[in-house]
Chain A
Amino acid sequence: SQTIHQWPATLVQPVGSPLSLECTVEGTSNPNLYWYRQAAGRGLQLLFYSIGIGQISSEVPQNLSASRPQDRQFILSSKKLLLSDSGFYLCAWSSPAGGPLMFDEQFFGPGTRLTVL
Protein backbone atom coordinates (compact mmCIF):
# COMPACT_ATOMS: atom_id res chain seq x y z
CA SER A 1 0.00 0.00 0.00
CA GLN A 2 1.03 3.59 -0.51
CA THR A 3 2.02 5.90 2.30
CA ILE A 4 3.10 9.52 2.42
CA HIS A 5 5.34 11.03 5.06
CA GLN A 6 6.08 14.61 5.98
CA TRP A 7 8.57 16.00 8.42
CA PRO A 8 8.96 17.72 10.63
CA ALA A 9 5.46 17.69 12.08
CA THR A 10 5.90 21.10 13.67
CA LEU A 11 8.47 23.81 13.23
CA VAL A 12 9.07 27.22 14.81
CA GLN A 13 11.50 29.42 12.94
CA PRO A 14 12.63 33.04 13.23
CA VAL A 15 12.02 35.51 10.44
CA GLY A 16 14.86 35.45 7.94
CA SER A 17 15.91 31.88 8.63
CA PRO A 18 15.96 29.16 5.95
CA LEU A 19 13.36 26.43 5.58
CA SER A 20 13.36 22.87 4.36
CA LEU A 21 10.29 20.64 4.53
CA GLU A 22 10.43 17.14 3.20
CA CYS A 23 7.79 14.84 1.78
CA THR A 24 8.31 11.24 0.71
CA VAL A 25 5.95 8.73 -0.83
CA GLU A 26 6.22 4.96 -0.61
CA GLY A 27 4.54 2.22 -2.59
CA THR A 28 4.10 3.96 -5.93
CA SER A 29 6.24 5.10 -8.84
CA ASN A 30 6.33 8.35 -10.74
CA PRO A 31 3.55 10.00 -8.74
CA ASN A 32 2.36 13.53 -9.29
CA LEU A 33 3.37 15.50 -6.21
CA TYR A 34 1.85 18.66 -4.74
CA TRP A 35 2.61 21.21 -2.03
CA TYR A 36 -0.28 23.14 -0.47
CA ARG A 37 -0.40 25.81 2.19
CA GLN A 38 -3.29 26.34 4.54
CA ALA A 39 -3.14 29.66 6.34
CA ALA A 40 -5.24 30.31 9.44
CA GLY A 41 -8.91 30.65 8.50
CA ARG A 42 -8.25 30.13 4.84
CA GLY A 43 -8.63 27.28 2.41
CA LEU A 44 -5.93 25.32 0.66
CA GLN A 45 -3.62 27.11 -1.72
CA LEU A 46 -1.68 25.04 -4.24
CA LEU A 47 1.94 26.18 -4.17
CA PHE A 48 3.80 23.76 -6.43
CA TYR A 49 3.21 20.58 -8.34
CA SER A 50 5.51 18.13 -10.05
CA ILE A 51 4.92 15.45 -12.67
CA GLY A 52 8.46 14.08 -12.58
CA ILE A 53 12.01 14.41 -11.27
CA GLY A 54 13.27 17.95 -11.71
CA GLN A 55 9.93 19.11 -13.15
CA ILE A 56 8.37 21.75 -10.92
CA SER A 57 5.52 24.11 -11.67
CA SER A 58 4.82 27.08 -9.44
CA GLU A 59 1.26 28.17 -9.00
CA VAL A 60 1.81 31.47 -7.21
CA PRO A 61 4.81 33.80 -6.94
CA GLN A 62 6.19 33.70 -3.44
CA ASN A 63 9.10 33.37 -1.13
CA LEU A 64 9.23 29.60 -1.48
CA SER A 65 10.72 27.10 -3.90
CA ALA A 66 10.32 23.38 -4.45
CA SER A 67 12.56 20.61 -5.70
CA ARG A 68 12.15 16.97 -6.60
CA PRO A 69 15.58 15.35 -6.42
CA GLN A 70 14.21 11.81 -6.47
CA ASP A 71 11.10 10.19 -7.89
CA ARG A 72 9.27 10.02 -4.58
CA GLN A 73 10.81 12.95 -2.72
CA PHE A 74 9.47 16.48 -2.77
CA ILE A 75 11.11 19.31 -0.86
CA LEU A 76 9.78 22.75 -0.03
CA SER A 77 12.39 25.40 0.73
CA SER A 78 12.94 29.02 1.49
CA LYS A 79 16.16 31.02 1.83
CA LYS A 80 14.60 33.61 4.17
CA LEU A 81 11.30 33.08 5.91
CA LEU A 82 8.70 35.81 6.23
CA LEU A 83 5.99 36.11 8.86
CA SER A 84 3.45 35.46 6.12
CA ASP A 85 4.97 32.03 5.49
CA SER A 86 3.37 30.72 8.67
CA GLY A 87 0.77 28.06 8.07
CA PHE A 88 0.01 24.39 7.72
CA TYR A 89 1.86 22.81 4.81
CA LEU A 90 0.44 19.74 3.17
CA CYS A 91 2.06 17.44 0.67
CA ALA A 92 -0.06 15.23 -1.56
CA TRP A 93 0.40 12.69 -4.32
CA SER A 94 -1.76 11.34 -7.11
CA SER A 95 -1.39 8.68 -9.74
CA PRO A 96 0.82 9.67 -12.69
CA ALA A 97 -0.51 11.03 -15.93
CA GLY A 98 -1.38 8.26 -18.34
CA GLY A 99 -2.10 5.75 -15.61
CA PRO A 100 -5.49 4.18 -14.93
CA LEU A 101 -6.22 6.63 -12.13
CA MET A 102 -4.95 9.78 -13.75
CA PHE A 103 -6.83 12.88 -12.71
CA ASP A 104 -8.25 10.94 -9.80
CA GLU A 105 -8.01 11.68 -6.11
CA GLN A 106 -5.04 13.08 -4.26
CA PHE A 107 -3.70 11.50 -1.11
CA PHE A 108 -2.50 13.85 1.59
CA GLY A 109 0.27 13.62 4.14
CA PRO A 110 -0.16 14.53 7.81
CA GLY A 111 1.12 18.08 7.33
CA THR A 112 3.74 20.36 8.86
CA ARG A 113 2.72 23.23 11.14
CA LEU A 114 5.15 26.12 10.52
CA THR A 115 5.21 29.14 12.80
CA VAL A 116 7.46 32.04 11.84
CA LEU A 117 8.21 34.44 14.69
Chain B
Amino acid sequence: EIVMTQSPATLSVSPGERVTLSCRASQSIGTNLAWYQQKPGQTSRLLIYGASTRATGVPARFSGSGSGTELTLTISSLQSEDFAVYFCQQYHKWPLTFGGGTKVDI
Protein backbone atom coordinates (compact mmCIF):
# COMPACT_ATOMS: atom_id res chain seq x y z
CA GLU B 1 0.00 0.00 0.00
CA ILE B 2 1.01 3.62 -0.43
CA VAL B 3 2.27 5.12 2.82
CA MET B 4 1.46 8.77 3.39
CA THR B 5 3.71 10.74 5.74
CA GLN B 6 2.74 14.19 7.00
CA SER B 7 5.05 16.71 8.56
CA PRO B 8 5.31 18.28 10.95
CA ALA B 9 3.13 16.40 13.41
CA THR B 10 2.39 19.62 15.26
CA LEU B 11 2.74 23.21 14.18
CA SER B 12 2.46 26.06 16.64
CA VAL B 13 1.58 29.30 14.91
CA SER B 14 -0.11 32.65 15.43
CA PRO B 15 -3.14 34.06 13.63
CA GLY B 16 -2.17 35.81 10.45
CA GLU B 17 0.84 33.60 9.77
CA ARG B 18 1.37 31.64 6.59
CA VAL B 19 1.31 27.90 7.17
CA THR B 20 2.70 25.14 4.98
CA LEU B 21 1.86 21.51 5.64
CA SER B 22 3.63 18.67 3.89
CA CYS B 23 2.35 15.30 2.71
CA ARG B 24 4.81 12.80 1.24
CA ALA B 25 3.82 9.62 -0.58
CA SER B 26 5.91 6.46 -0.64
CA GLN B 27 5.38 6.29 -4.41
CA SER B 28 4.05 8.65 -7.02
CA ILE B 29 0.36 9.43 -6.69
CA GLY B 30 0.16 12.05 -9.42
CA THR B 31 -2.35 14.59 -8.20
CA ASN B 32 -4.70 12.04 -6.65
CA LEU B 33 -4.66 13.65 -3.22
CA ALA B 34 -7.25 15.18 -0.94
CA TRP B 35 -6.82 17.34 2.16
CA TYR B 36 -9.26 17.40 5.07
CA GLN B 37 -9.75 19.52 8.18
CA GLN B 38 -10.80 17.88 11.42
CA LYS B 39 -12.08 19.71 14.48
CA PRO B 40 -13.42 18.26 17.74
CA GLY B 41 -17.17 17.84 17.72
CA GLN B 42 -17.46 18.56 14.00
CA THR B 43 -17.50 16.41 10.94
CA SER B 44 -14.33 16.25 8.89
CA ARG B 45 -14.33 18.77 6.08
CA LEU B 46 -13.02 18.23 2.58
CA LEU B 47 -10.74 21.14 1.70
CA ILE B 48 -8.85 20.16 -1.43
CA TYR B 49 -9.09 17.37 -4.01
CA GLY B 50 -7.05 16.68 -7.10
CA ALA B 51 -4.11 18.09 -5.10
CA SER B 52 -5.09 21.70 -5.86
CA THR B 53 -8.85 22.10 -6.42
CA ARG B 54 -10.68 23.73 -3.55
CA ALA B 55 -13.92 22.06 -2.49
CA THR B 56 -17.16 24.03 -2.52
CA GLY B 57 -17.19 26.82 0.03
CA VAL B 58 -13.53 26.53 1.04
CA PRO B 59 -11.91 29.95 1.48
CA ALA B 60 -9.27 31.05 -1.00
CA ARG B 61 -6.64 31.20 1.75
CA PHE B 62 -6.41 27.42 1.47
CA SER B 63 -4.38 26.18 -1.47
CA GLY B 64 -2.89 22.86 -2.46
CA SER B 65 0.09 22.21 -4.67
CA GLY B 66 2.52 19.56 -5.76
CA SER B 67 2.33 16.22 -7.51
CA GLY B 68 4.04 12.87 -7.48
CA THR B 69 5.40 12.22 -4.02
CA GLU B 70 5.58 15.73 -2.51
CA LEU B 71 2.38 17.63 -1.93
CA THR B 72 1.61 20.68 0.13
CA LEU B 73 -1.31 22.45 1.76
CA THR B 74 -0.81 26.16 2.36
CA ILE B 75 -2.94 28.46 4.48
CA SER B 76 -1.97 31.96 3.41
CA SER B 77 -3.09 33.80 6.54
CA LEU B 78 -4.20 31.65 9.42
CA GLN B 79 -7.55 32.55 10.97
CA SER B 80 -8.69 31.53 14.45
CA GLU B 81 -11.13 29.02 12.97
CA ASP B 82 -8.28 27.26 11.15
CA PHE B 83 -6.78 25.77 14.29
CA ALA B 84 -7.44 22.10 13.69
CA VAL B 85 -5.93 18.83 12.55
CA TYR B 86 -5.25 18.47 8.83
CA PHE B 87 -4.76 15.18 7.10
CA CYS B 88 -4.13 14.06 3.57
CA GLN B 89 -5.47 11.04 1.70
CA GLN B 90 -4.30 9.45 -1.53
CA TYR B 91 -6.71 7.88 -3.96
CA HIS B 92 -4.22 6.88 -6.62
CA LYS B 93 -4.28 3.20 -5.65
CA TRP B 94 -6.36 0.95 -3.44
CA PRO B 95 -6.37 0.66 -0.56
CA LEU B 96 -7.03 4.31 0.12
CA THR B 97 -4.55 5.56 2.67
CA PHE B 98 -4.27 8.59 4.93
CA GLY B 99 -1.46 10.56 6.44
CA GLY B 100 -1.00 10.71 10.19
CA GLY B 101 -2.17 14.32 10.36
CA THR B 102 -0.73 17.68 11.31
CA LYS B 103 -2.15 19.52 14.29
CA VAL B 104 -2.12 23.30 13.87
CA ASP B 105 -2.37 25.03 17.21
CA ILE B 106 -1.49 28.25 18.91
Q: Tell me if chain B binds chain A.
A: no
Measuring CB to CB, which residues of chain A are less than 8 angstroms from any residue of chain B? none
Measuring CB to CB, which residues of chain B are less than 8 angstroms from any residue of chain A? none
